[in-house]
Structure 1
């Protein structure tokens, strides 16, 4: 059951008990009705089992990482790689950001910035994929309602994809290949190459 408290002047907060017995607060309501509406919303979501405690997302990426490290079961080389990518790319950009404030658009912009800085597409994908794993584990710990790293298809990523050009043999190259197949194998192999071409 949630309740509303008047804090000062025109400020109210909504409070509720977490499953572990601790009390969480959502502040910043500038009128009593808004606070009561939010308290009612929290209670309804809890009954429906769709409630997400937004106050848990206040811990920063830096605070979450030590807890996340303890969950890993990978080899030393992978750990070293993760440590390098986290220290070099993730902490400088998002280390002080609370988990609950991470936005999908921020991560897309970060990915674009990495491409612009000259990193290969596969490198950027690896960095973003690692961050997605870190945040995915935060979702499992109920620190986030959803992972802000989304894989959107057909939304501008094509600019960073490597386009493989189809190579076609000229008629002369086909005939040379067929002649070589006939010399090395038999006439049927040469015929198959010409037919396929």
Structure 2
């Protein structure tokens, strides 16, 4: 750094000496601000330490005593205030920091967090949480320490895992084929708890691959039969898209019934708020005729602005859907009723293969069905799922009307085969 005083000052105090060096900053009165370190018994050693500090200052790798003394909890607050992430991610970061990171580093300065301190925390968190949760906390701490370099610490003490030796494949969630009979039973159980809204919710997720929060936030102006005619058209830069949607989507047979994924709902600080879809994956999804009919009948049956209202008419995003509706629908329920029961619940049979399984697997099943057909464009499938396709394929490809028609037709054929088989079984039983 040009202009830094090259002289290092040595001072003896009692039986030890102290080295002082200019840190490259000025005090408010214009005088140079010096930093120092004491406890040396050898002048040459003290002098070399001062020269090393000047070298670090010149090359931008120095951590001043003042910065290194920043308490870790102060750094956590500053770091959380600076990150630009989605609201639900920010909420998770704050929760992990307040519950696990801040208590452990409460009295520790950032400059004192070395490899041994990091290992101690890693051992602590692995003994306290499950592997997945502990990994998330360690990842968050790693980001905080990485961003503290070079102002607060010279290097991050996080030990990165190197791929050495025998390759070990990461365990993945075991998935089974999802027959439509299982989806129907899940939908029937959801209807027993949530009414027709629950039944159509399950089939819509299975036949569109929409994410749960996108379904919670789906309003009637973005759903067949109202969309695209009812589209608010709030973005003047999207006029071309609005016109193309009006030409493609709408009432059959001249147009294709479809849903517009325009938003999702989340509750980052209490109370529902609208946000863009995950990864800004705005998209239009054609639906097969049977689902279009279900959606039309459902919207005619209620006047809620939400396509899938909770029992009280509000959004499912505020209804604890997983705990109150999905788990009993998938796992089965003994039922409860009688005097003093606040929320009666019917007896429900467990859906084979779905005990403990996530609602999100309905989305996975949708992609598996499209892959299974073997006739659809990979680009069309990925865009339908809300994924970006990288490389030349993503740059040059587009979703055409025939691609969308093929998807809707294949889903309708799958439904008709299922219902035909179900009707045959009913006839045999009668």
Q: Structure 1 44/71 Cα, relative in aligned 2: closer, same or farther at 3 Å? A: same
Q: Structure 1 71/43 Cα, relative in aligned 2: closer, same or farther at 3 Å? A: same
Give the aligned partner of residue 123 of structure 2: 112
* Larger proportion of helix: 1
Give deviations 1:149-193, integer Å, cap 9, x for gaps: 1212369xx9xx9657xxxxxxxxxxxxxxxxxxxxxxxxxxxxx
Give the aligned partner of residue 175 of structure 1: none
Counterpart check, 1:28 vs 2:39: yes
Alignment partners' CA distance in 1, 2:159 and 2:137: 14
Runs (4 or more) in structure 1 with deviation over 6 Å come to: none
For these two proteins, the number of residue pairs brought into alignment is 161
Is the Cα contact below 8 Å between 1:111 and 1:128 reproduced in 2?
yes
Q: TM-score, normalised by structure 2?
A: 0.33
Q: Structure 1 7/81 Cα, relative in aligned 2: closer, same or farther at 3 Å? A: farther
Q: Bigger shift: 73-82 or 38-47?
A: 38-47
Is the radius of gyration larger for structure 1 or structure 2?
2
Counterpart check, 1:9 vs 2:14: yes
Counterpart check, 1:84 vs 2:98: no
Give the aligned partner of residue 173 of structure 1: none
TM-aligned CA deviation for residue 51 of structure 1: 4.1
Give the aligned partner of residue 153 of structure 1: 162
RMSD between aligned residues: 3.0
SS in 2 for 1:126: helix
Q: List alignment gaps of at least 5 residues for structure 2.
A: 1-5, 27-32, 173-430
Higher relative contact order (CA 8 A, sep 6+): 1
Alignment partners' CA distance in 1, 2:83 and 2:49: 37
Give the aligned partner of residue 297 of structure 2: none
Q: Structure 1 79/103 Cα, relative in aligned 2: closer, same or farther at 3 Å? A: same
Choose from 131, 147, 170 the match for 1:137: 147
Q: Structure 1 114/45 Cα, relative in aligned 2: closer, same or farther at 3 Å? A: closer
